[in-house]
Structure 1
């Protein structure tokens, strides 16, 4: 691009810092403004940008309205608590700005659907609306997606996804919005697991039916779950299991395994741990996991294999996605992550909570269409409250 896009970051927390860092580092972006209801947080982020990143000092907006009225701002990045995402994004689109929403798109499906419709109208005016799902752009994920789409894995039959993280009680106590339905929209699955949910959809397509459990087993003073488990059936016939928890002390990993009739791949923390496709099998080569027949090194660089420095650091993943965002703005094409795709991920999380609450499988199409919008999730805290299977 011949000129840099002016960027405003709305929300000066940890995620806002990652986006600000990208805006300073990328030659196609220019960080113009920061705004946060906590003015001290905005000033601290501005100091970080100027002193530690050696960037130009961004302005501190005194309100969202003043930021949106600034003609030098082309792109608004929404990094506030999840329950406020769509409201801010709508205002930005209505002001004629491109919009990047940090995951998830929101915590309420009705607001997410509203955002999908708005994004479609915005596209007709040349505006890009996208949601952060930076893991889609990791080289290992790209390699697996390419193998699936090209048919190298044959019929994809199943997947297992595990997000085994740890969050202390202090984490949940650090903000009055954490662990609430209104602003967090859920717990381990919504906040820590939503990126992995997105990758399941990225690899396996549209779900048909979801059955799940969700509970708060360890943490106190939270409305949401710290562990959730589910089984998902997809339109293709493929099935997947999904586990997300913040109870895995001291901290474990994120793993995603995809299996097909002629190939499989294992991802761990965005690294390609194992890859084997029948079309690349060498004569006499053994098959199986544990280094036997592992073709991973042929599919990605050594930086994307186990033993390499971890790639989970926020800046690197976000920078990859911003490459896609900038190109989408420059060319007018659809971004790599759409509001509709982000809404599908939200609907899948919601389906797990609904299944827990209703004690039965739920149809994904019903959840996506809003047929259960009036059901308030109920998360168990004792063994006899963790869902009860009801007769169909």
Structure 2
């Protein structure tokens, strides 16, 4: 199994494990909330019945017990008559009920009590939304309605698991980001060191091969021999590959080049090394310029063209079209093939490390291509269009430079 796919599977398993933990936490908290809500309903009913007993009993000792029970209950509640007028409250903000001193002794020597009606209406509306009222049968055909709402403890308990999960998620995200960043930094250092060492090791045999080719040309007077010329081209290509590896880990310098000429040079080199069943077509604006690092940009073209060749089964065509946008100051390079195509659902997946449709391969080509275009050339690359069975077009966008 590809190690990148193996890592992705582990990520999925960890995600499922986290989801199970979160579900278990929510389930248990909902279990507690349900039982506490039932307990608070019982408390509210006890409080309501105590109010009924206060009005119907003359036994002072029993009333003292009822008052004690009633006052020990902390569930916020409001009692109204059948018309909706406020009769009594419990557990609400006492500052919203006040005495008007100027209206003292209006009713049988008692001070007039006034309410913040809007506050009580809002509280009553909140209670109605949470629970059905408890009906108390009073004198005659009259009845009272006892409304109540969840206590502060129950309200906090309802939102606690979500706050807890949010904090855990933030902690895990920060920890994962820090760990992943550290791990990537270590991996990058290893790869950079390996790449530079590879470039260093390739340098000596490449130099020797170049010298041997020159000796062969001199010994056999074969300056124009096509076999030696192609051998020379391959050795130079090895030199370019070594140069690519030596540049990994450092910011490459971009130089102004005519895009068409750079693409043509590589296409001419590449097409003679693949089957003649595949034709190549290069067209477009021949004057557009952009900032390029030729060794790295050739690597981009190599990956795209190799993928195109692998996608074509039998006879086919690869077309490279270059055009510019004057208003946006951009250069567009479209690389199209008549291969097997890519499903639309995979347009983004193809650039991820480890994605490949071949039995052999690490699936790093397009991932490196995307990195070289976006990080080193400040451009973009994406699947412009593809249809299964008909072909694919990759688009590269670079910043256009004036002549």
TM-score (norm. length: structure 2): 0.20
TM-score (norm. length: structure 1): 0.20
